[in-house]
A and B are shown apart, each in its own frame.
Chain A
Amino acid sequence: MITANGKKNYRWLGICALVLALVIWEIAAVFIVANSFILPSPPDVITAFIGLVEKGRLFIDFEVSMLHFVIGLGAALLVGIPIGIMMGWSRKFDAFLDPVVEFLRPIPPLAWIPFAIIWFGLTAYSAGFVIFVGAVFPIIINTYSGFRNVPKIYVEAGRMLGCTKSPSLIRHVAFPAALPSIAAGIRIATGVGWMCLVAAELFGVSNNGLGMGLWFYYDLHQMDCVVVYMLLLGLIGLLIDMGFRYSMDRYFLRWQVREVA
């Protein structure tokens, strides 16, 4: 297949691989393992999915998880971007805050779970907090490096054109110049935050949530339902990433897209 821009389209190869993976899974489940507790087959999973949809549980789980995720990621954006901007713009602020950031950063987000519970109780905010811890550092680091790498000539051009104060230089010159890097940081942060979701919900902030649902069915030993939740977590994560990339490229980074094309 040849697309409009003259490049060969190899998408069908990817589809082949997905079909192949499904076939291997089916063969392994039915003929090799032959035990739907250890490895549920694709038809088992589809049946389980239909059952879960009929119960209505999946939608509630989805809603609750999205709430946790939005709280965590939203807080990470609100905290991470300003900190990253200040560290990237001012050497003094960088020297001041860098040791703290570098010290806190290696602590795994899940290690914060005890304090999340103590500080926020068993609420959506404590799950959100764990996601926040996972997401905030990629945002800080990428915003920081984006600002550090703003070509000096853009700042000087801005100054010569009447943009002389720091806040307006940040807003009109440095921020747009750093946006590709900031966007990459947010993308990494969504990924990390999404991974923290299952663990964040594990400690029982509510009876619902995709991560909570997964553990619930594990306790019931309904492994086909566990696979449904795993696949959903993967699929939703993928859709969030695709949606984010699409909207960034479409609305904020058009100049960059063209640069590549």
Chain B
Amino acid sequence: MGHLAISDLTQVFCKDDGSELVALDHVSLEVKDKEFVCILGPSGCGKTTLLRLIAGLDISRNGSIVLDGEEMRGPSPKIGFVFQEYSLFPWRTVVDNTAFGLEMKGMSREERYRIAERYLDLVNLSAFKTSYPSELSGGMRQRVAVARALALDPVLLLMDEPFGALDAQTRNMLQTELLDIWEKTQKTIIFITHSVDEAVYLSDRIIVLSPRPGTVCKTVSIDLPRPRDRTSVAFADLRRAILDLISKNCAVQ
């Protein structure tokens, strides 16, 4: 299961000068089990704030986040997180990074390596299990980060612009790989991006956020069959429609 319901989520930050910044304003949304949802919006629209609240890294006093009927308070093993920046532990090898969460659960070395290697297989990095993160390329590091998040078998995977720092070719390759992983593992995925192309390529549904204060501006279902062709007319039409939507309805006021 991986059903997420967010209702009336509001997050206000106090700035140093005493004024208040409303980052999220009464955001309500629902993500179905096994759904791939992209949250799309410009920088500063509260995308990351929203994701951090779902993850439990930050806590909001207003609104509720319910995962499979359970109110979320703080980080949970049911939720995996892939960060935008490189977050692998540089002092651990690839396999020890992947097995970190299992080690925290107190699993024996043998067992956790067995599981970690299975997930490294899934991201096609078995050959690099004894390497250190510094020896990997950016794309490989993010693939390890995905394997590390999946190793704990969460029901919900949160991804905060995970491919944002990668070059276009690597990015496209990882997007395809991610869809493959999603189909194999049957996770619910919430993926943050500011790239319309990425959102249309990946998601079942796109939630467009408007900036400052962040609110849900529009939800768009993407019904194109997978694998999707980025150069097809239908794909281009959808991209245009969403870009129009953003500039007309969801832009900075």
Interaction A to B = yes
Q: Identify the A interface with B (CB < 8 A).
A: 153-154, 156-164, 168, 172-173, 176-177, 179, 254-256, 258-259
- The stretch from B62-70, B83-91, B187-195 touching chain A is B83-91
From A153, A160, A162, A173, give the contact of B105 (CB < 8 A): A162
- Which chain A residue has the least Cβ–Cβ distance from B100? A161
Residue pair A176, B148 in contact (C-beta under 8 Å) = no
Q: Report the Cα distance A153→B82, complex, angstroms.
A: 11
Residue pair B75, A176 in contact (C-beta under 8 Å):
no
Q: Is the CB of B132 within 8 A of A164?
A: no
Whether A164 and B83, one on each chain, are in contact in the complex, defined by CB atoms closer than 8 angstroms, is no
25 residue pairs of the A-B complex, CB under 8 angstroms, read A153-B85, A154-B87, A156-B87, A157-B89, A159-B57, A160-B55, A160-B79, A160-B81, A160-B149, A161-B100, A161-B101, A161-B104, A162-B75, A162-B105, A163-B100, A164-B74, A172-B100, A176-B89, A177-B89, A177-B90, A177-B91, A255-B90, A255-B133, A256-B90, A259-B134
With A160-B75, A161-B101, A163-B104 known as contacts, the answer to whether A259 contacts B83 (CB < 8 A) is no
The interface residues of chain B lying within 8 Å CB-to-CB of A162 are 75, 77, 101, 104-105, 152
Q: Does B135 contact A (CB under 8 A)?
A: yes
Are A258 and B91 in touch, CB under 8 angstroms?
A: no
Give a binary string over B208-225; 1 marks a CB under 8 Å from any A CB, 0 the rest: 000000000000000000
Q: Are B87 and A153 in contact, with the CB atoms below 8 A? A: yes
Considering the complex, give the chain A residue whose CB is closest to the CB of B133. A255
Min CB–CB distance B179 → chain A (angstroms):
23
Question: Across the interface, do B80 and A160 meet the contact criterion of CB distance under 8 Å?
Answer: yes
Extra pairs beyond A158-B100, A173-B89, A259-B134 (10, CB < 8 Å): A157-B87, A157-B88, A160-B81, A160-B149, A161-B149, A161-B152, A162-B77, A162-B105, A177-B89, A258-B135
Which 5 pairs show the lowest CB-CB distances between chains A and B? A161-B101, A160-B81, A157-B87, A162-B104, A259-B134
B91: which of A156, A159, A163, A176 is its contact (CB, 8 Å)? A176
Q: How large is the interface on B (under 10, 10 to 19, 20 to 34, 35 or more residues)?
A: 20 to 34
A255 to B91, CA, bound (A): 5
Please pick, from B89, B103, B134, B135, the residue contacting A154 in the complex, using a CB distance under 8 A.
B89
Residue of B nearest to A175 (CB): B91
Query: Which chain A residue shows the least CB distance to B158?
Result: A160
Select the residue from A156, A161, A163 with max chain B CB neighbours within 10 A.
A161
Chain B neighbourhood of A156, CB < 8 A = 57, 81, 83, 87
Assembly CA distance A256 to B132 (angstroms): 9
Q: Which residues of A contact B79 (CB under 8 A)?
A: 160
Bound form: Cα–Cα A177–B89 in Å: 8
Complex-state Cα separation, A259 to B89, whole angstroms: 13
Given A160-B75, A162-B101, A162-B152, do A179 and B91 touch, yes or no (CB 8 Å)?
A: yes
What's the nearest-Cβ distance from chain B to residue A229, in Å? 41
Nearest chain A CB to B100's CB is how many angstroms away? 5
* CB-based nearest A residue for B134: A259
* Contact A258/B77 with A159-B57, A176-B91 known, Cβ cut-off 8 Å: no
**Neighbouring A residues of B149 by C-beta, 8 Å:** 160-161
Binary CB contact string for chain B from 105 to 119 against chain A (1 if under 8 A, 0 otherwise): 100000000000000
* Contact residues in B for A157 (Cβ distance below 8 Å): 81, 83, 87-89
Chain A residues near B101 (CB-CB < 8 A): 161-163
Shortest Cβ distance from residue A254 to the other chain B in the assembled complex, whole angstroms: 8
**CA of A179 to CA of B89 in the docked complex: distance in angstroms?**
13
Give the CA-CA distance A61 to B173 in the complex, in Å. Answer: 67
A158 to B104 Cα, complex, angstroms:
9
- Docked CA distance A173–B85 (Å): 17
A251 to B217, CA, bound (A): 54
Nearest to A180 among chain B residues (CB) is B91
State in angstroms the CA–CA spacing of A168 and B100 once bound together.
Answer: 12
Contacts of A259 in B (CB 8 A): 90, 132, 134
Task: Report yes or no: A255 in contact with B104, Cβ–Cβ below 8 A.
Answer: no
How far is the CB of A176 from the nearest CB of chain B, in Å? 4
Say how far A173's CB is from chain B's closest CB, in angstroms. 7
Q: With a CB–CB cut-off of 8 A, which chain A residues contact B104?
A: 161-163, 168, 172
Closest CB in chain B relative to A172 CB, distance in Å? 7
Q: How far is the CA of A177 from the CA of B77 in the complex (A)?
A: 23
CA A159 – CA B34 in complex, angstroms? 24
CB of A27 to closest CB in B, whole Å: 50
